[in-house]
Chains A and B, each alone.
Chain A
């Protein structure tokens, strides 16, 4: 049957029809999760509830304190909200840039949708909605407890949730439209695969830069009023990030107007009219640029030339290994350094480490007076725990996903005479050795900054080696037990349920080690307090044996479980 143009538009599937499969897939996934694993749902609810309660609690305490400050209290609360919304807007923009590329140009349903008689405006709105949800859900969840605290402290009343919804919808829409327009332009200039690499890199570098900038601004100075000459300086600092043309400022004003009973609809009008205008502009650009952009997104020839220098060097370095292991390690290295979603995480890692070392340097420990060795020991001991947590996070990012990333290629590994034990061990050492070097580096550098006594330095080195070997095995083993073979983005794997389980297991292991080590450390402190003598306590030997045993178990058991699972895995 052939329709006229107007008839074709009338018969075109609407936004809800286009998004139908997504909604149904989500429902099906939730149903499977519910039926299959009650414990998993309970854990997620508990963790989510705990997180919300913590955010709400912190926001409530701060706002309650602000409310008590005469005259400038509401101003402070408003500024805090504006700064929070501005930070979220920056995150949303970056997230929308990357998400829009997937939903508009790389998604699996695009061939079907583009070839179907779908009117362009419905297509645009459906994809915009999809981008909005995918890129903003985390920030949306974060905003709920914060705004609840505002509503409770300032008496927002029963209509406040509705006001928040009306205010935040255009606030969330604006970065989505801007992100999708920027992506549209970028895809028209570069092929989509190259654009994805560039975007991932830009997004991560910007995020890293943001964190670094915030840290280097030394916000802890705000907690030291003596650092400011007078109240005017303090207020000037408070005013710094605000700007009358920023949508986050309008959103903050609209919400604060409601909470402070100020009748001024202008911020809300500005938000909605700007969002409307941006959607119209975005739609018209989509109409002109989507078809050429989509065509271009099908391109993707990427020549890498003959073997690069680093590959030749790596091949020479690994020449002593049997050919199977050597080629396997080389393959892992090539895939890692050619996939921007993987290697770009090194940027975040570098930022994390700089911030960590900077934080240790910024500790007000050595400010002129003589520092008691007890305090130094305690700080070094706590630093050991913190360092362990950082190591766990790095293992979650780089070692946990390594088996999942084999994904659809597992058919090749399982049908070849590759010994799965050898494969697992190869992945273990490739991930754990760099982690060990890094861990020892952080431990020694931060301990030197803290001027740790030799006893603590020794304990740190022993613990770091044992814990790193264990946490690498834990990450790899749990990565096999909770695989994510279907994911297309390596960065999403650590945030899966299995990633969460790994982080909890790693933190539990760390806690156990710290508790065991607390015995000789406490004994050492008592000895120093009583007679000032320096030397390792007798219990240190037993502690080292205990830590070694715990870590050996935490290394062998997950690797064995992982190997069993990998052998039995039907792919």
Chain B
């Protein structure tokens, strides 16, 4: 499970994340939505232990990330939005290296690596340097690396970017399966249809704060939006571009 208490991140005078409180229990897929620059990625990178919060507490599976970082991180798998990998390692070597970072090695891990590469259809490229991988292939490799050590919690930032429809479907099924077995997923996405279809609960972040959160029904109730779609709710909370402005844009 993931628990955030008054999580805040400031860059000088700018507050990127402003006192977020959130609890995501086991067996739940939680969606984080928001316009660009709302603080979603910053929040996720703090949960992953990449950024240090200015204040607040993060607990992963009940373990405080600040006081027991190694234990907390060993339970987490992080999939970033930009798939930066070591370009001079092959796909298989990269996964072996990541397993090593989590203190795992040996025959069991080799089998797991083969299994994941096969699942994401990377086996033919397992001995190629990742510098020759496409964006989608790198994304699939990073998803594999987040799963290789069997985490309890997955934090995933924009998971579908660069994936072909088949791999996107595979990832959706994987995340749902992971959750159904008691795992916890926190996912940020701009694809509202995916969020609506996949997430058990959703939070909409605006200017570093959670503007609304809950199930689709709870979100509608909070915003008094009747039977509005997630897109309509999102635009209502974040402010959309007026139709007239768009028609002006293409007039000349």
Contacts and interface: CB of A to CB of B under 8 A. Distances in A.
Given A411-B50, A415-B78, A327 B101 contact: yes
Contacts of B93: 331, 334
B98 interface: yes
A505 to B, nearest CB: 27
B50 A327 contact: no
B129 A328 contact: no
B98 A302 contact: no
Interface in B31-61: 45, 48-52
A309 to B, nearest CB: 15
Nearest to B80: A411
A338, A408, A416, A567 pick with most chain B CB within 10 angstroms: A416
A137 to B, nearest CB: 28
B128 A331 contact: no
Interface stretch (B22-30, B69-77, B201-209): B69-77
Nearest to A340: B88
Contact of B90 (A304, A323, A324, A417): A304
Contacts of A305: 127
B73 A415 contact: yes
Contacts of B175: none
A193 B151 CA distance: 36
A306 interface: yes
Contacts of A338: 88, 129
Interface string A388-415: 0000000000000000000111111111
B128 A327 contact: no
Contacts of A339: 88
A232 interface: no
B132 interface: yes
B139 interface: no
A408 B129 contact: no
A338 B84 CA distance: 18
A301 interface: yes
Given A323-B105, A417-B71, A303 B98 contact: no
A335 B88 CA distance: 5
A326 B128 contact: no
A552 B69 CA distance: 29
B74 A417 contact: yes
B43 to A, nearest CB: 14
A416 B86 contact: no
Contacts of A324: 100-103
B52 A416 contact: no
Contact of B103 (A323, A331, A409): A323
Interface in A471-502: none
A300 B101 contact: no
A302 B101 contact: no
B189 to A, nearest CB: 19
A571 interface: yes
Contacts of B51: 570-571
A317 B101 CA distance: 19
B99 interface: yes
A305 B100 CA distance: 21
Interface string B97-131: 11111111110000000000000000000011101
B85 interface: yes
Given A414-B50, A417-B74, A417-B102, A334 B88 contact: yes
Given A415-B50, A417-B73, A327 B100 contact: yes
Interface in A313-336: 322-324, 326-328, 330-331, 334-335
A319 to B, nearest CB: 10
A309 B72 CA distance: 37
B104 A300 contact: no
A449 interface: no
B106 to A, nearest CB: 8
A216 B21 CA distance: 71
Interface residues of B, number: 40
B140 interface: no
A419 interface: yes
Interface centre among A306, A326, A415 (most CB of B within 10 A): A415
Interface string A279-303: 0000000000000000000001111
B49 A302 contact: no
A301 B89 contact: no
B10 to A, nearest CB: 11
B101 A412 contact: yes
A213 interface: no
A305 B98 CA distance: 20
Nearest to B77: A415
A328 B50 contact: no
A191 to B, nearest CB: 9
A570 B12 CA distance: 13
Contact of A335 (B73, B89, B101): B89
A560 B123 CA distance: 42
Interface in B155-213: none
Contacts of A302: 128-129, 131-132
Contact of B99 (A193, A327, A411, A419): A327
Given A301-B132, A303-B127, A416 B102 contact: yes
B247 to A, nearest CB: 19
Contacts of A411: 45, 48, 50, 78, 80, 84
B158 to A, nearest CB: 14
Nearest to B109: A323
A418 interface: yes
B86 A331 contact: yes
B76 to A, nearest CB: 7
Contacts of B69: 417
B96 interface: yes
Contacts of A334: 88-89, 93
B103 A417 contact: yes
Contacts of B101: 324, 327-328, 412-413, 416-418
B96 A327 contact: yes
B51 to A, nearest CB: 5
Interface in A128-144: none
Given A327-B100, A410-B50, 11 more contacts: A300-B131, A304-B127, A322-B103, A323-B106, A328-B100, A328-B101, A331-B100, A334-B89, A411-B80, A416-B102, A417-B69
Q: Which 4 A-B pairs have the closest CB atoms?
A: A327-B100, A408-B84, A323-B105, A416-B101
28 contacts: A300-B132, A301-B128, A301-B132, A304-B90, A304-B127, A322-B103, A323-B99, A324-B102, A327-B100, A328-B97, A328-B100, A331-B86, A331-B93, A334-B88, A334-B93, A335-B88, A409-B85, A411-B45, A412-B85, A412-B98, A414-B49, A415-B76, A417-B70, A418-B101, A567-B52, A568-B52, A570-B50, A570-B51
